[in-house]
Structures are given as structure tokens and as C-alpha cells.
Amino acid sequence: MSTPLLTINIPTMLTIEETAKALNENARKAGVKCGISKFYIRQLALTNKIVHTRAEKKILINFEKLIAYFNEAGVEADKSNLNKADNKYGITPISVK
């Protein structure tokens, strides 16, 4: 019995539409509601926050790396950036009496 010399792990590369569909279907099977849109996935790719590649006009997302991104602090980092962007002009909210 011979052992393989090289093991290659080929990543699952999906289009943006296929990625959104796969995320929502897997979440539905787990009984969880997932609201990740195609637009959000596209923005993550265009800002280089997730691993992706281009095949002519299509953007292909590495599905395993996307799942790892969501499981790590990527989502929390985006939330903190949104809060900073909302107050980029130094506007301080005041309480209503």
C-alpha cells in the first residue's frame, strides 16, 4: 500500500450570487436566519476583506475563507467601523429633556 505524496485541498470558489445562496441555505438548515446580501459580499470582496479572485468580469469568492472571516472578528470590526463613520464629523448627540 502506497501513501500519497501530495495532498491538494482545492478551495470552493463560488460567484457572489452562489455564495449568498449557499450562506442563506446553510443558515436555514441550521434554523438560523441569515441576512447577508449579495451587495455586502461584493463590498467585502471589493475592499479586499475576503479572499477572492476575478475570472473576467466575475468575482469568485473562496467560500471556506468567507466562513472563517465571519467566524472571526471580521463582522465585529465592520460594526465598529460603521459607528466611527457615523460620527466622522464630530457631531455629539444631545439628550432630549
Q: pLDDT for 34-44, tens place per residue?
A: 788 999 999 99
SS3 15: strand
Q: pLDDT for 56-96, tens place per residue?
A: 999 999 999 999 998 885 555 555 555 555 556 666 666 67
Residue 9 predicted with pLDDT over 70: yes
Whole-model pTM above 0.95? no
- Positive or negative, the CA dihedral 54, 58, 62, 66 is positive
DSSP 50-86: S-EEEETTEEEEEHHHHHHHHHTTHHHHHHHHHHHHH
Q: Parallel, antiparallel, or unpaired for β 52-55 and 58-62?
A: antiparallel
Residue written as grid cell 455629539: 92
